[in-house]
C-alpha cells in the first residue's frame, strides 16, 4: 500500500510539473484596446473561437461571429455578450463548406460593415466527407473556405490598415504533405479511410495548407499595412472531434484530452498574441506557438509549393 501511495504521489508531482511547464503555456501580454475596431472570428460559437470572441469583445471590439449553425451561434451570442459585458457582438451566417455561403457572407459584410481590422480564421473540422462543391471536407472547410473569405475581404482590410489576418493552424502540419497531382484530379488532399489515423493524416494535410497559405499571403501583402500569421493554439480540449466516434478516439484520445490538453482560455493565448501584440509586424507570414515565433521545416515555407497551392486554390474556389 505504501508503495502504491508513493507511486501515486510521484505521478501527481510529475503531472503538476508537466502541466505548468508544457501544458499551461504563456499568456498574451498585450494590453491593446480595440474600441472602434471590427473583428471577424470564424467558428466562434464554441471552443477557442468563442473564447477568443469573448476576449476581443472585452477589449472593446465590434465582433462578428461567423458561424454555420444559426441555433448554436445565437446561443453563443447571448453567452458572449454576458461574459464580455459588450452588446457590440453580432452573428452573421457563414458555412465554410459552401463557396456560395462564403461569397454571400462577404457580400453582406461589405455592404453592412464599414470596417474590418482583424480577420481570425479560426474554424476547423476533423471529419471526412465532401462539401457541397465536391471538395474534400477538410480541404474545403479548413483551407479553401478561409482562402476565399480572406481574398474577398482583403481590400477592406487594406483600407483599414494596419490590420491583420490570423490563421489558426496546428502542429499537425508536420504530418502534412500536399499531393498536387491528387489535389488537381480529385479536389481532395488524399484518399479517405475509416480509421482515426486516416482522418488525422488528412487533417495534417489541411493544416499544412494553412501555413503555406499564410506564407504566400505575406508575400502578396508586402508594401501594404496588412500582416498575417499562422499559429498552433496548443492541444486543446475542444469540440473539433465531436464527429469522431471511432473506438480509438472514444477510449484513448478523448480521455487523454481531459488530462493533458489546455483549457480554452489557455488555448486562446497565441491567437490573441498574433492578433494584438505590438511589434510583430516584421514577422508577417511566420508561424507562432506558445506566444512566440517558431521555425518550421522547409516544406511549410517553400515559396514554390506555397505559390502552387495558391494558384490551385484560386481555381478551386472560382477566383481564377
The pLDDT tens digits for 52-99 are 999 999 999 999 999 999 999 999 999 999 999 999 999 999 999 999
The pLDDT tens digits for 104-154 are 999 999 999 999 999 999 999 999 999 999 999 999 999 999 999 999 999
DSSP 184-252: HHHSSSS---SSHHHHHHHHHHHHHHHHHHHHHHHHHTTTSSEEEEEEE--SB--STTTT---HHIIII
> Would you list the domain boundaries of the chain?
28-233+266-316
Is residue 287 part of the annotated active site? The answer reads no
Segment (H or E) for 41? strand 38-42
Q: Which of 15, 19, 182, 203 is catalytic?
A: 203
The pLDDT tens digits for 192-247 are 998 999 999 999 999 999 999 999 999 999 999 999 999 999 876 655 445 545 56
Out of 1.10.287.130, 3.40.109.10, 1.20.120.530, 3.40.50.720, which CATH number does the structure's domain 28-233+266-316 have? Answer: 3.40.50.720
Is pLDDT at 100 greater than 60 in this prediction?
yes
Which region holds residue 47: left if phi is over 0, alpha if psi is between -120 and 50, else beta?
left
Name residues whose C-beta falls within 8 Å of residue 233's C-beta, 6 or more positions apart in sequence.
Answer: 48, 168, 170, 262, 267, 268, 269, 270, 271
Amino acid at each position: 500500500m505504501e508503495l502504491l501511495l508513493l507511486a501515486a504521489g510521484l505521478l501527481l508531482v510529475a503531472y503538476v510539473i508537466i502541466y505548468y511547464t508544457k501544458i499551461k503555456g504563456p499568456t498574451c501580454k498585450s494590453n491593446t484596446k480595440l474600441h472602434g475596431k471590427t473583428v471577424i472570428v470564424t467558428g466562434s460559437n464554441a471552443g477557442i473561437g468563442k473564447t477568443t470572441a469573448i476576449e476581443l469583445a472585452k477589449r472593446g471590439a465590434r465582433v462578428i461571429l461567423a458561424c454555420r449553425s444559426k441555433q448554436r451561434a445565437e446561443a453563443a451570442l447571448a453567452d458572449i455578450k454576458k461574459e464580455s459585458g459588450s452588446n457590440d457582438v453580432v452573428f452573421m451566417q457563414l458555412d465554410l463548406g459552401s463557396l456560395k455561403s462564403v461569397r454571400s457572407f462577404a457580400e453582406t459584410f461589405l455592404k453592412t460593415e464599414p470596417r474590418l481590422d482583424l480577420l481570425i480564421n479560426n474554424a476547423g473540422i476533423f471529419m471526412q466527407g465532401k462539401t457541397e462543391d465536391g471538395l474534400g471536407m477538410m480541404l474545403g472547410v479548413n483551407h479553401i473556405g478561409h482562402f476565399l473569405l480572406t481574398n474577398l475581404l482583403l481590400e477592406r482590410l487594406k483600407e483599414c490598415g494596419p490590420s491583420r489576418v490570423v490563421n489558426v493552424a496546428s502542429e499537425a502540419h508536420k504530418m502534412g504533405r500536399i499531393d498536387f497531382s491528387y489535389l488537381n484530379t480529385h479536389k481532395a488532399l488524399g484518399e479517405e479511410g475509416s480509421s482515426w489515423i486516416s482522418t488525422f493524416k488528412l487533417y495534417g494535410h489541411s493544416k499544412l495548407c494553412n501555413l503555406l497559405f499564410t506564407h504566400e499571403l505575406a508575400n502578396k501583402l508586402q508594401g501594404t499595412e496588412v500582416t498575417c500569421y499562422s499559429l498552433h493554439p496548443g492541444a486543446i480540449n475542444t469540440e473539433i472531434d465531436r464527429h469522431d466516434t471511432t473506438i480509438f478516439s472514444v477510449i484513448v484520445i478523448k480521455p487523454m484530452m481531459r488530462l493533458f490538453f489546455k483549457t480554452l482560455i489557455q488555448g486562446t493565448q497565441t491567437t490573441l498574441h498574433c492578433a494584438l501584440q505590438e511589434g510583430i509586424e516584421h514577422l508577417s507570414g511566420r508561424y507562432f506557438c506558445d506566444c512566440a515565433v517558431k521555425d518550421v521545416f522547409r516544406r511549410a515555407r517553400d515559396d514554390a509549393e506555397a505559390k502552387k497551392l495558391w494558384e490551385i486554390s484560386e481555381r478551386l474556389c472560382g477566383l481564377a
